[in-house]
Every structure is written in C-alpha cells, then in structure tokens.
Amino acid sequence: MSVGTYLREAREAAGYSVEQIATKTRIRAEVIRDLECEKFQSCGGNAYARGHIRTIGQFVNADLDRLITEFEATTGEVDRPMIDLLTENSATSRKPQRALPKMTYKFMASTAAVVVGLMILVPTANSFFKSTTKSTHSTKVSATAKSVAVPATQAATTPVGSPTGNLLISADRGTTWIAVTDANGASLFTGKITTGQSQSFDASKLINVTLGNAGAVTMTLNGKSIGTPGALGEVKYLQYGPNSYNAASAVSPVIAG
C-alpha cells in the first residue's frame, strides 16, 4: 500500500475530513489532498512532505513507522534529519566545525571555577545586604505607602500586549519555504524566500504561518523583534492575530507540530 493511500485510510478511519485535518494542523487542505495523491512538490518537496506526513499521522493515530516506511518505498529516500535533506536541496548549508584549541579548554575550566565561586559568594553577600537594609526599607515603605498604592482592579487590567499588526519574516540564515493562510484556511502566500529576502503579512486578522526551515529566519511584529522560532531544518506551525492561542503575549507565538 502506498503512503498516500495509507494516509487517506488512516484519516478516514479516524473519522476526519480533509478540511477538519487542515483546521487542526494548520496544513492547507490542498497540500493534504496532494499528499494523499503522493504529489509532494506542492509543499516544497520530500523534505517538507515528510514533516507534514508525520504531523497528520500523529493526529489520526496512524502507525508512524509504517507511514515512513511507505514514504521511503515511494520516494526512495531514507529517514534522515531535515537539515541533511535541506543541505542536499541547497536550502541551507552546514557550517564547518573547528576543533577548539587547547587554551580554550583551559579557559573554559577557569571560567567554570569562577562561576562556581560566584554561586557561593553572591547568595551570602545578598543575605548580608538584605539584613542591613531591612529596617531602612521598612521605614521608606511605611512613609510612602499611601502615595504609591494602586487599586487591585487597576493593576489587574494592565495590558500585556497583542500579537496583531504587521508581521515581517526575514531570511537571515538560509532559504525557507513559507505558507500563510487566513482563519478559514484560504491561502495568502505560498513560496520560498532566500537569504536577504523578507516577506510581510497583515496580522490584524487571524493568520496561520508554516515555516519549512524555522531556524533560517527572524521575525518582527509591529517593529519589535520576536526572534527565531526554531532550529535549522525544523518545520514550525505558528499563529498570529486576534484570538490566536498566543494572545497573552506578543513574543511567544503558538507553535504546533
């Protein structure tokens, strides 16, 4: 049985439609149908197809070992780390590792000894300063308590930020495949960006973002950097905008898969 056939049968046995799987995994319905027909190029090639197949397989409780075995039989590719497959496709490259000189090891050992010493001394010094300033601090608090008091209701309603606005994805460390859909699963963008390129999206409404090589990009929301969402070769599923799962913090996107 081919990987596409098994994937479809596992989905149907679990009682899910393609659209339901798309909503739950944030993988576009068109991509899921192509995977079930063994058309792997629509999601960026075999490297990305393998990640999508694993995600769907886990959701429908399929036998992942069997899925990957069927995938290998269909594509002729063995299961290797994503970074190796991306390197072969020139999507990213491995940085050569250099042996550390002997002096570096000595320096690291010395640094470790200093850190251990600080871990012992700092708590002791901190305890001393706390004990000598306790009475002074208490006096200042009692003298100014009325002027700085804030109602509990007011403190509780302090805004913590909103993951909405303009989302900028910049390829700083390599090439990545990006797919962006709206809340209804309609495609807003599908394609690749290479080193030095960037792509912006309107996150004033809910959007779902899939990154094929999360470690190759940095992300900015409303002009504020929110960092790199994953490792090189890692597939990430993110969500931004009103009512997103990460609505409590603008710098902690929801990540699935």
Coil, helix or strand for 239? strand
Helices and strands, number each (H, E), in the chain: 8, 9
Whether 208 maps to a domain, the answer reads yes
pLDDT tops 70 at residue 2? yes
Question: How high is the pLDDT of residue 199?
Answer: 92
* Partner residues linked to 200 by β-bridges: 168
Whether 117 maps to a domain, the answer reads no
Kindly tell me the burial class for residue 86, based on how many C-beta atoms sit within 10 Å of its own C-beta (0-12, 13-18, 19 or more): buried
What are the two backbone dihedrals, phi and then psi, of residue 239, each rounded to the nearest 5 degrees? -145, 135
Whether 222 maps to a domain, the answer reads yes
As a whole number of angstroms, the distance between CA 192 and CA 170 comes to: 11
Whether 204 maps to a domain, the answer reads yes
Overall domain count for the chain = 2
Encode pLDDT of 63-108 as tens digits.
988 888 888 888 776 655 555 545 544 444 455 555 545 445 556 6
Among 45, 79, 113, the domain boundary falls at 79
Q: Which structural domain range is residue 210 located in?
A: 166-250
Provide the CATH number for the domain around residue 54.
1.10.260.40
Distances (CA, A) of 83 to 90, 175, 184: 10, 12, 31
Among 59, 79, 99, the domain boundary falls at 79
As a whole number of angstroms, the distance between CA 26 and CA 41 comes to: 18
Among 79, 107, 128, the domain boundary falls at 79
Encode pLDDT of 100-159 as tens digits.
454 455 566 666 666 656 666 555 555 555 555 554 444 443 443 343 333 333 333 323
Whether 9 maps to a domain, the answer reads yes
Whether 173 maps to a domain, the answer reads yes
Whether 207 maps to a domain, the answer reads yes
Whether 147 maps to a domain, the answer reads no
Q: What does the block give as tokens for 176? A: 């990545």
As a whole number of angstroms, the distance between CA 168 and CA 201 comes to: 6
pLDDT tops 90 at residue 17? yes
pLDDT tops 90 at residue 40? no
